[in-house]
Amino acid sequence: MSRAKPQTYYLRSFGCQMNDHDAEHIAGLLEEMGLAREESPEKA
């Protein structure tokens, strides 16, 4: 039995602290859906 690699995402935020806040909110939603965060777009 093989284990499937979880779906991943890469999120990059530009601009002000509100953009950073929105990005963290989106990241939380994606992680609730089972996606794993990657640190580079090439890995996502």
**pLDDT the model gives residue 3:** 79
Q: Residue 8: which of 42, 39, 38 has the closest Cα?
A: 38
**pLDDT the model gives residue 38:** 97
User: Can you point out the beta strands (E) in 1-44?
Assistant: 8-9, 36-37
Contact assessment for residue 35 and residue 43, using Cβ atoms and an 8 Å cutoff: no
Series of mean pLDDT values for 10-residue runs along the chain (44 residues)? 84 95 98 97 95
Q: What is the pTM of this model?
A: 0.81
